[in-house]
Amino acid sequence: MKKVTAISLVLSALLLTYSLAFAESKILDVPSGKIIPFSEMIQGLQKANYIFLGDDITVTGHQIAQMEILKGIHEKNKQLAVGVEMFRNESQYILDQWSTNEIKKRRFVDEFNSNWGEWDRYKKLFQYIWDNRVKLAALNISRDILIQVESKGFDSLSPDQLGGLYEGITCDVVPSYQDVMRRMNLYKGMLQEQSFKNHCEMKILGDIMMAKNLVEFHNKNPALTMIVLAGNTHSWKHGIPSRINNQAGNNFKTILFEAAGRVNRNTVTAADADYLWLDYGATGWRR
């Protein structure tokens, strides 16, 4: 009996060790091609004014990973704000009320679902933001405009609609951008060329306007490091970062999250991201 118990204890210890090792986050430093520890990535983010955390809303766990990174940055640098794709810019007052505890949670959840949806995926992340009174910036634009561009193209926007964006805005889809979207399978299976072009225009328009809103918020709060929560196709270097580069210098880092068949270690390059959080299953999202 004692021998069996001893063996059981050894096996339990081995299983526990394996479990802890498996739970350690796996991060690819894309330029070097090396797997690095979580702490090394956090250290590498320290000098950036803008830190982009992509995700794929279809992958359970990405939002938990975003929260872990946010916590890691917050522990090193208390002076930060979080820009979010999930809220339209005209809803900024809702985020202000959430950060300062001036809105009931039920109302905030309703507003979140009205702007975006999928509250259950993001609730722990936004609870952490609320607990620590972190400022929030609403980055997105009208859903109706984005839907119209995706279905009919950027040229379908009226002068009044364009006037609500900013003067002289254009939405050129260069071949290199389309090539990257195809390489990373980020075109939702669209077969018609015009449909794919419209989808790219919609993504680019979102990038341009979210970059504008992000930079304006940061200009009002220059002491704060900006953490940006947006999908992989907005957070990669070809997305919002490429637009802030034109407005505010090249002081950013971007982290993408691996998603099978879309963004993965075999397709991502240093031109796409600085870091790639590798998907090793449900327990792999915890450090």
pLDDT tens for 145-162 read 999 999 999 999 999 999
In 3D space, the residue among 198, 202, 275 whose CA is nearest the CA of residue 236 turns out to be 275
pTM recorded for the entire structure: 0.86
Count of residues for the chain?
Answer: 287
In 3D space, the residue among 26, 24, 25, 28 whose CA is nearest the CA of residue 254 turns out to be 28
Tens of pLDDT along 70-96? 999 999 877 999 999 999 999 999 999
Domain 25-285 sits in CATH at: 3.40.50.11550
Give the Å distances, CA to CA, from 255 to 10, 234, 250: 38, 11, 15
Report the C-alpha gap between 196 and 202 in whole angstroms. Answer: 10
> Where are the chain's structural domains?
25-285
| Alpha helical stretches, state H, 116-192 | 119-131, 143-152, 159-163, 175-183
